[in-house]
Amino acid sequence: MMGKHNDSIGCVVSECRFHAKAEDYCTLEKIQVTKHESLAKTKQCTDCGSFEKE
């Protein structure tokens, strides 16, 4: 696991290697938000591009 969690990035995806495990936060300093549609119109069109499977 990485270091201390980032208070600015909440996350409930415990399958990610960057999840803080004991708390619902990310341990990265910054994440990359991506889209998988040419024009994002809803939150379902976006993803966390920093996700890595544990």
Q: What is the pLDDT of residues 1-49, one digit of tens each?
A: 456 999 999 999 999 999 999 999 999 999 999 999 999 999 999 999 9
- Amino acid identity of residue 6, one-letter, is N
> Taking the model in full, what pTM does it have?
0.84
CA of 37: how far to CAs of 8, 25, 44, 51, in Å? 26, 26, 10, 18
